[in-house]
Amino acid sequence: MEEIQLIATSTFGLEAVVKRELLNLGYEELVVENGKVHFKGTEKDIPIANLWLRSADRVLLKMGEFKATSFEELFEKTKALPWDEWITEDGEFTVEGKSVDSQLFSISDCQAIVKKAVVEKLKTKYHREWFQETGAKFTIEVSLLKDIATLTIDTSGPGLHKRGYRLDSVEAPLKETLAAALVQLSYWNKNRLLLDPFCGSGTIPIEAAMIGKNMAPGLNRNFASEEWPRVKREYWHNVRREAWDLMDREPNLNIIASDIDKAAIKAAKENAENIGLEEDIKFMVKDIKNLNIKDKYGVIITNPPYGERLGEKKEIDKLYKDMGEIFKPLDTYSIYVLTSNEDFEKLYGKSASRKRKLYNGRIKVDYYQYYGPRPPKSW
């Protein structure tokens, strides 16, 4: 089976998490760049990566990379790539584009040229002048960075954060991929208590439960490349069957999700039910001031309100001060807080053990990590 080049894209700051996930899946010789991790595989690895990557945004098939400073050069070098080995005679394909610091700065022109070049390549394979484009979907991207063109086909379709369980959400929800990364960047494991006191629609607790039960995040959705003849249906069937076999079905997780908002908790419960995790997470409507935490050791991972709107600053400042007082007695806990508020440590009353820069959508945020002691082995 021919070797192919694949790219797992990610939100800025999560490249190391995606790299670790790929290493855990058995991939080697990884190349990390801003927002992406390159890895090698075969057609069989397209289902594996799409089904199992938790923190990546998409899995792209890399078709080629070359220097292009003229439209003629872009056309000829694009046409030379093996599009006919992937795109079917009736394939429906669109071209997306982006250009940064390149002589070819007109994205619409680059898209049109790549589309024309691909069509010309397909004409030589299928010996026809016109294509119906009624079959499988292929989304091509031409990405130009400093005159280097990278051409890819998206194997995922909708972004990998769309797990299929979120039917209801509250305002400004956390993406599932980011929530999974927050859990993986923490010291939580399935044998410890996990608490999210600002759970919203439940994304952090649900993603943690999926990790704790070794549930493949893409198990309940479909992907664009499932319709591609070259990625055989048996590959998808085998990966899904193995994923079901690898799942830990023991309902022994200790995860608490609370929020002051009744509507948010209702949505969170429904989201958990949609993926069969309602028995693994305890949901409750509760103000953080009224939480009664009994476990000796545990982990708190939370994404509290940021106060991005005008007039909310005083309210949020007080909330962060309250959090510092409420969490102060929990000296055996590891505590992780994601917020865009640059004064968080000052308001919270304690400097973080580590601070990591991330992005929640387009909002620049910091992940404040407060490390507690390791629980004794006998505990």
Look at the pTM and tell me if it is higher than 0.85.
yes
Q: Would you state the structure tokens that stand for residue 181, as one six-digit string?
A: 């990364």
- Rounded-to-5 percentages of helix, strand, coil across the chain: 30, 25, 45
Using alpha carbons, select from 327, 352, 46, 376 the residue that is nearest to residue 185: 352
225 in a structural domain: no
Q: Are residues 83 and 201 in the same domain?
A: no
327 and 186 part of one domain: yes
Verify that 105 and 197 share a domain, yes or no: no
Cβ within 8 Å of residue 363, ≥6 positions away: 306, 308, 340
- Answer yes or no: are the C-beta atoms of 97 and 142 closer than 8 Å: yes
Q: How many structural domains comprise the chain?
A: 2
Q: Are residues 205 and 261 in the same domain?
A: yes
For residue range 60-97, what is the model confidence (pLDDT) as tens digits? 999 999 999 999 999 999 999 999 999 999 999 999 99
Query: 113: exposed, middle or buried (C-beta count within 10 Å: 0-12, 13-18, 19+)?
Result: buried
Whether residue 150 is found in the same domain as residue 180: no
Q: Is 198 found in the same domain as 126? A: no
Which pLDDT does position 378 carry in this prediction?
58
- Supply the CATH number for residue 277's domain: 3.40.50.150
What pLDDT, on the 0 to 100 scale, is given for residue 313? 85
| Pairing state between β 4-9 and 354-360 | unpaired
Read off the tokens for 56: 């990546």
Structure tokens at 140: 């091509």
Residue pLDDT, tens place only, 143-193: 999 999 999 999 999 999 999 998 756 665 799 999 999 999 999 999 999
| Mean pLDDT (10-residue bins), the chain, 379 residues | 94 97 96 96 98 98 97 97 94 94 95 96 86 88 96 97 81 86 96 95 97 96 96 97 92 91 94 93 95 89 82 88 95 96 96 97 95 79
Q: Give a yes or no: residue 163 inside a domain.
A: no
Q: Is residue 95 part of a domain?
A: yes
67 touches 149 (CB < 8 A): yes
Same domain flag for 54 and 194: no
Share above pLDDT 70 across residues of the chain, in percent, rounded to a whole number: 97
Does a structural domain hold residue 239? Answer: no
| Domain extent for 208 | 176-215+248-370
Is 52 found in the same domain as 96?
yes
Domain boundary (154, 184, 206) is at: 154
Q: Where are the alpha helices (DSSP H) in the chain?
A: 15-24, 45-52, 71-79, 107-126, 176-184, 203-212, 233-246, 262-274, 313-327, 344-348
CATH number at residue 104: 3.30.2130.30
Q: Is residue 88 part of a domain?
A: yes
Asked whether residue 237 is domain-assigned, the answer is: no
